[in-house]
């Protein structure tokens, strides 16, 4: 067991030592810029070792080999770790990886946040200007038509220039030999200058040939430029002479510019220029139109950053001292690949200015020995990747450039270009224009003064209208303005305007003003009208008062009548209600009466129903002939009636006395009434209240048996008609 532990410890130590050796080897390769060789080592190491140095170096390897997606992933890990040691160079490269992904806003935000955290107000101001400049370039739209040439391969091709009927460019051998050296920065073969007839540059089966076997070496050759007579050329090559490779103190073979002459159709007298040095690179030669100035890129002492563009005077085989072109061209970052067109414009690539990402192509006007501030040449030549080696014929507006953008055939491809739009870079602006007119006549007003003020209330424009009343101002986008208009003997007016970010939009600032003279006339007219109106109003008030009084009386009369009608209606309603109540009461009384009647009829055998009447059935009451006093035997019969009326105190009885139809009808009526009265008097004498007993003499008017003529009935029938009836009227 002890041996196993010892073996494990030894193995662990050996593994750790091996890892440490791999890291040391990867770091050595990284320091020598052998990035492609360092990548697989760092990838393995990063599985176990996530230190900031490992992640950063791996990200830088990806970055310098233009693998921006992979570089972004590594840089993002460092961002997430919130490493406080990350410097401006790191954030710059991280922003570049974001631009390669098209995330320009996020890229700008990353830099802004870093500068703010560093309290670097100058850098923030510079960045804001660059964002604005690039926005102005974007506004132009696509300035070029571009085509990926058919001559491109899966390897690198770049730096195309025209020589006679041929296109000369740098390329990597399609199928390198087994023992061919590779460039350890990107693991490609070394570059050579090759040539293809211009007519074949877009042929699918295009074949390139070495431009010159005399120039070919085991090192890089690229970026050739030729004098107009085609007899002298300058090109870029690694420090290489007499079959030997020159190196600096770090064993790096820097780039130099060489000159060659065409003699007997062969390029000979290959000479390194006198301002070359083993200690720094000099590259990418370009000639001025008069061939008296040579431009190049170098990281020699005196640069503002990584690589700067320099110029040097040329007089035959004599060269002046290199001169840095200054801040209008060079920045603290990298400027390379200069080219000067026949119309004296310097084109070059830079990643230190407002860019779409990676190297972008810029242009500066050459004015004697000065250079205008460089401008981005725009889309679609520039992209989020490296765009470089720009060449253009200023007469035909056609040329070439190189790029490693996605969608190409290889790592670097050559594209043809045709410039279709002028590079006119302007700040976003709009226009405020309009016409000043008279409010009343709507005619244009001459000599009106229009003043434009900004949001700080500062006057930024002034115009005096002509006969057409028109005025116009330029205005900055995304701003607020105030327009003021005035004219002698006229009112003033103003108008506020908010300008959007849409370019070249025209905003209407038209306004109307009024003549003071017309206003005075109107005021006088208004005063006159007011007086007239006051008189009319007084008269109208008088009439209105009269009408109001009449109306009041009318309304009072109507109200009184309405009140009477209402009172009458109320009375009628009361009567109706009373009738209904009486009816209900009567019906209730009738119902009670019926109930009592039924009860009395059931209880009293002397009380019977006779059709719709209720009567007390008694024995006949006889009176002496033509007499009406009560006979003794009749009193007994009447006592039964008194008995019933005493038993039922609410009972009201009508005594109905009837005669036969013999004799005079009037006499019979009087006789029957006297008999009824006599009967009533007897009952009253028995203590029955007078309001409970009624007496009615019917004479011969209500016979039981109709005797017509009177001798048609016998005595018995006449006796039936001579009767006294006791009708119960109320219970």
User: CA Rg, the chain, in Å?
Assistant: 66
- Residue 235 included in any domain: yes
- Which CATH number belongs to the domain containing residue 397 in this structure? 2.120.10.30
On the 0-12 / 13-18 / 19+ scale of CB atoms within 10 A, 672 is: buried
Domain final residue, candidates 496, 517, 538: 517
208 Cβ contact list (under 8 Å, min separation 6): 151, 171, 194, 195, 196
DSSP state of 630: P
* Residues 366 and 494 both lie in one domain: no
**Owning domain of residue 220:** 147-243+251-419
- For 353-378, letters b (16+ CB in 10 Å) and e give bbbbbbbbbbbbebeeeebeebbbbb
692 Cβ contact list (under 8 Å, min separation 6): 645, 651, 652, 653
- Residue 720 included in any domain: yes
- Residue 542 included in any domain: no
Question: What values do phi and psi take at 520, rounded to 5?
Answer: -65, -45
* Residues 411 and 443 both lie in one domain: no
User: What's the rounded Cα separation, in Å, for the pair 345 and 390?
Assistant: 12
Which pLDDT does position 178 carry in this prediction?
Answer: 39
Among candidates 358, 352, 354, 399, which has minimal Cα distance to 376?
354
Planar angle of CA 644, 646, 649, nearest 5 degrees: 105
674 Cβ contact list (under 8 Å, min separation 6): 628, 697
Q: Residue 489 — left, alpha, or beta (φ > 0 → left; ψ -120 to 50 → alpha)?
A: left
What are residue 283's DSSP bridge partners? 297
User: What's the rounded Cα separation, in Å, for the pair 410 and 151?
Assistant: 11
Token pair of 35 as six digits: 């990035």
Q: Taking a C-beta distance cutoff of 8 angstroms, is the pair 296, 350 a contact?
A: no
* Residues 502 and 459 both lie in one domain: yes
Per DSSP bridges, beta strands 144-148 and 157-163 are: unpaired
User: What's the rounded Cα separation, in Å, for the pair 656 and 695?
Assistant: 6
| Helix, strand, or coil (residue 222) | strand
Does the N-terminal peptide bond of residue 380 adopt cis geometry, omega within 30 degrees of 0? Answer: yes
User: What's the rounded Cα separation, in Å, for the pair 439 and 444?
Assistant: 10
User: What's the rounded Cα separation, in Å, for the pair 205 and 355?
Assistant: 36
User: What's the rounded Cα separation, in Å, for the pair 255 and 272?
Assistant: 11
| Axis crossing angle, helix 88-100 with helix 104-117, rounded to the nearest 10 | 170
* Residues 349 and 444 both lie in one domain: no
* Residues 412 and 434 both lie in one domain: no
- Residue 331 included in any domain: yes
User: What's the rounded Cα separation, in Å, for the pair 662 and 651?
Assistant: 34
Q: Which helix (H) or strand (E) holds 517?
A: helix 516-603
Does the N-terminal peptide bond of residue 454 adopt cis geometry, omega within 30 degrees of 0? Answer: no
- Residue 483 included in any domain: yes
Which pLDDT does position 243 carry in this prediction?
Answer: 59
* Residues 396 and 455 both lie in one domain: no
4 Cβ contact list (under 8 Å, min separation 6): none
Per DSSP bridges, beta strands 375-376 and 370-371 are: unpaired
User: What's the rounded Cα separation, in Å, for the pair 667 and 292?
Assistant: 176
* Residues 266 and 235 both lie in one domain: yes
User: What's the rounded Cα separation, in Å, for the pair 170 and 622?
Assistant: 169
* Residues 323 and 446 both lie in one domain: no
Q: Which position has the token pair 């008030």?
A: 541
pTM: 0.66
- Residue 173 included in any domain: yes
* Residues 202 and 274 both lie in one domain: yes
- Report the residue count for the chain: 731
User: What's the rounded Cα separation, in Å, for the pair 189 and 169?
Assistant: 15
440 Cβ contact list (under 8 Å, min separation 6): 514, 515, 518
C-alpha count within 13 angstroms, C-beta hemisphere, residue 663: 15
- Residue 545 included in any domain: no
Q: Which position has the token pair 């062969």?
A: 266
DSSP state of 692: G
- Which CATH number belongs to the domain containing residue 97 in this structure? 1.25.40.10
SS3 content of the chain, % helix, strand, coil (to 5): 35, 30, 35
- Residue 592 included in any domain: no
User: What's the rounded Cα separation, in Å, for the pair 107 and 97?
Assistant: 8
Q: Which helix (H) or strand (E) holds 40?
A: helix 35-48
Which pLDDT does position 190 carry in this prediction?
Answer: 79
DSSP state of 501: S
* Residues 67 and 9 both lie in one domain: yes
Domain final residue, candidates 494, 517, 540: 517
Token pair of 167 as six digits: 């296109």
How many domains is the chain built from? 4
User: What's the rounded Cα separation, in Å, for the pair 501 and 480?
Assistant: 12
User: What's the rounded Cα separation, in Å, for the pair 457 and 452?
Assistant: 9
User: What's the rounded Cα separation, in Å, for the pair 232 and 198?
Assistant: 21
* Residues 493 and 407 both lie in one domain: no
Provide block-wise average pLDDT over 10 residues at a time, the chain (731 residues).
56 58 90 89 90 92 91 91 85 92 92 92 92 92 95 92 95 55 50 92 82 86 95 90 63 87 94 94 97 97 93 96 96 96 97 94 94 96 96 96 92 95 92 96 96 95 96 94 96 95 93 94 90 86 86 85 83 83 81 80 87 87 79 88 92 91 88 92 94 93 85 82 87 78
* Residues 260 and 385 both lie in one domain: yes
- Which CATH number belongs to the domain containing residue 445 in this structure? 2.60.40.10
Sign, CA torsion 105/109/111/116 = positive
Token pair of 187 as six digits: 């693991």
Domain final residue, candidates 366, 386, 419: 419
- Which CATH number belongs to the domain containing residue 701 in this structure? 3.30.1330.60
């Amino acid at each position: 067991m002890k041996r196993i532990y010892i073996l494990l410890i030894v193995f662990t130590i050996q593994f750790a030592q091996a890892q440490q050796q791999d890291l040391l080897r990867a770091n050595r390769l990284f320091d020598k810029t052998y990035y492609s060789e360092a990548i697989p080592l760092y990838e393995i190491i990063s599985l176990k070792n996530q230190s900031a140095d490992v992640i950063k170096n791996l990200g830088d390897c990806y970055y310098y080999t233009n693998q921006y997606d992979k570089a972004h992933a590594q840089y993002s890990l460092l961002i997430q770790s919130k490493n406080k040691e990350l410097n401006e160079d790191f954030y710059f490269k991280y922003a570049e990886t974001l631009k390669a992904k098209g995330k320009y806003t996020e890229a700008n935000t990353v830099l802004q946040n870093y500068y703010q955290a560093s309290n670097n107000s100058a850098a923030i101001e510079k960045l804001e200007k660059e964002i604005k400049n690039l926005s102005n370039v974007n506004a132009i739209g696509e300035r070029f038509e571009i085509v990926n040439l058919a001559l491109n391969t899966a390897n690198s091709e770049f730096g195309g220039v025209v020589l006679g009927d041929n296109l000369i460019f740098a390329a990597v051998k399609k199928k390198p030999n087994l023992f061919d050296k590779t460039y350890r920065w990107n693991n490609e073969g070394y570059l050579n200058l090759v040539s293809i007839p211009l007519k074949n540059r877009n042929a699918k089966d295009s074949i390139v040939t070495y431009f010159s076997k005399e120039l070919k070496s085991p090192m890089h050759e690229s970026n050739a430029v030729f004098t107009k007579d085609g007899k002298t050329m300058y090109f870029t090559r690694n420090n290489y002479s007499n079959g030997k490779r020159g190196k600096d103190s770090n064993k790096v073979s820097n780039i130099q510019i060489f000159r060659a002459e065409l003699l007997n159709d062969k390029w000979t007298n290959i000479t390194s220029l006198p301002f070359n040095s083993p200690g720094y690179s000099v590259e990418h030669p370009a000639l001025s139109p008069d061939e008296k100035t040579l431009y190049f890129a170098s990281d020699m002492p005196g640069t503002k950053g990584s690589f700067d563009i320099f110029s040097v005077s040329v007089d035959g085989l004599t060269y002046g001292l290199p001169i840095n072109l200054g801040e209008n061209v060079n920045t603290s970052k990298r400027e390379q690949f200069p080219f000067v067109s026949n119309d004296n414009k310097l084109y070059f690539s830079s990643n230190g200015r407002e860019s779409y990402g990676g190297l972008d192509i810029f242009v500066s006007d050459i004015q004697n020995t000065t250079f205008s501030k460089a401008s981005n040449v725009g889309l679609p030549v520039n992209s989020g990747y490296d765009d470089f080696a720009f060449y253009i014929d200023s007469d035909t507006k056609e040329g070439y450039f190189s790029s490693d953008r996605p969608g190409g055939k290889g790592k670097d491809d050559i594209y043809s270009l045709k410039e279709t739009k002028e590079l006119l870079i302007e700040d976003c602006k709009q226009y405020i224009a309009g016409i000043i007119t008279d409010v009343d006549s709507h005619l244009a007003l001459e000599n009106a003064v229009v003043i434009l003020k900004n949001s700080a209330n500062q006057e930024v424009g002034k115009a005096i209208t002509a006969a057409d009343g028109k005025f116009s101002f330029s205005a900055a986008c995304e701003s607020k303005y105030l327009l003021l208009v005035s004219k002698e003997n006229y009112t003033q007016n103003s108008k506020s305007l908010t300008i959007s970010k849409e370019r070249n939009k025209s905003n209407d600032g038209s306004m109307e003003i009024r003549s003071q003279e017309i206003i005075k006339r109107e005021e006088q007219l208004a005063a006159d009208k007011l007086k007239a109106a006051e008189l009319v109003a007084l008269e109208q008030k008088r009439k209105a008062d009269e009408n109001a009084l009449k109306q009041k009386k009318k309304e009072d009369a109507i109200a009184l009548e309405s009140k009477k009608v209402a009172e009458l209606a109320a009375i009628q309603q009361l009567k109706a209600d009373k009738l209904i109540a009486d009816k209900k009461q009567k019906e209730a009384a009738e119902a009670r009466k019926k109930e009592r009647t039924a009860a009395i009829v059931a209880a009293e055998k002397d009380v019977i129903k006779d059709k719709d009447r209720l009567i007390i059935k008694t024995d006949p009451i006889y009176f002496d002939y033509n007499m009406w006093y009560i006979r003794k035997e009749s009193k007994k019969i009447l006592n039964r009636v008194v008995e019933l009326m005493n038993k039922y105190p609410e009972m009201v009885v009508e005594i109905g006395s009837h005669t036969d139809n013999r004799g005079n009808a009037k006499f019979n009526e009087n006789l029957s009434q006297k008999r009824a009265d006599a009967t009533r008097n007897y009952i009253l004498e028995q203590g029955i209240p007078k309001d409970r007993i009624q007496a009615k003499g019917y004479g011969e008017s209500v016979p039981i048996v109709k005797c017509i003529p009177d001798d048609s009935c016998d005595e018995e029938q006449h006796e039936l008609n001579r009767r006294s009836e006791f009708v119960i009227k109320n219970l």
